[in-house]
């Protein structure tokens, strides 16, 4: 029982995923700090609002809505999503495209069109199953 668990844990995909989660969490905290400590004060200085976005809020019937904190979190999310797309997804897509370039891409067709009724029939068929028309066998196909 433990041998199977050991094989599962040491499988490449599980270890890669665990490393990705840890790195992703660390990266998200760095981006959050960047947003809170550098980016939003810079935007506040340019726009002219005092402080940073985290203090922006409004009250409605004794409820406090922290709009600024939401803006900080949204900016952090967009930065993380952009970094994952441009530094992970795009290079992997380019790599996969290069690897699949020499493989031809598509599988050979397994059907052909009947010349009489234009329905799909298997390539080695001598007669159409739909209209019973004799179909010439094309050895090149």
**Cα–Cα nearest to 29, from 90, 73, 69:** 73
Kindly state whether residues 16 and 48 are assigned to the same domain. yes
Kindly state whether residues 117 and 99 are assigned to the same domain. no
Domain membership of residue 64 as a residue range: 2-103
- Under the banding of pLDDT at 50, 70 and 90, the label for residue 141 is very low
Kindly state whether residues 53 and 113 are assigned to the same domain. no
CATH value at residue 84: 1.10.1200.120
Residue pLDDT, tens place only, 24-67: 888 888 888 888 888 877 877 787 766 666 777 788 888 888 88
Kindly state whether residues 92 and 78 are assigned to the same domain. yes
Kindly state whether residues 111 and 129 are assigned to the same domain. yes
Structural domain total, the chain: 2
pTM: 0.52
- Under the banding of pLDDT at 50, 70 and 90, the label for residue 121 is confident
User: Would you say residue 140 has pLDDT above 60?
Assistant: no
DSSP states along 82-109: HHHIIIIIHHHHHHHHHHHGGG-SSPPP
Kindly state whether residues 66 and 89 are assigned to the same domain. yes
């Amino acid at each position: 029982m433990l041998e199977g668990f050991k094989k599962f844990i040491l499988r490449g995909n599980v270890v890669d995923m665990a490393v990705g989660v840890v790195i992703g969490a660390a990266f998200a905290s760095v981006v959050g700090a960047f947003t809170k400590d550098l980016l939003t004060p810079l935007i506040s200085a340019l726009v002219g609002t005092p402080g940073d976005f985290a203090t922006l809020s409004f009250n409605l019937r004794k409820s406090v809505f922290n709009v600024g904190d939401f803006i900080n979190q949204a900016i952090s999310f967009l930065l993380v999503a952009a970094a994952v797309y441009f530094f992970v997804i795009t290079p992997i897509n380019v790599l996969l495209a290069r690897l699949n370039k020499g493989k031809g891409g598509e599988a050979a067709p397994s059907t052909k069109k009947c010349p009489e009724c234009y329905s799909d029939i298997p390539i080695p068929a001598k007669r159409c199953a739909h209209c019973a028309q004799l179909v010439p066998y094309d050895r090149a196909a």
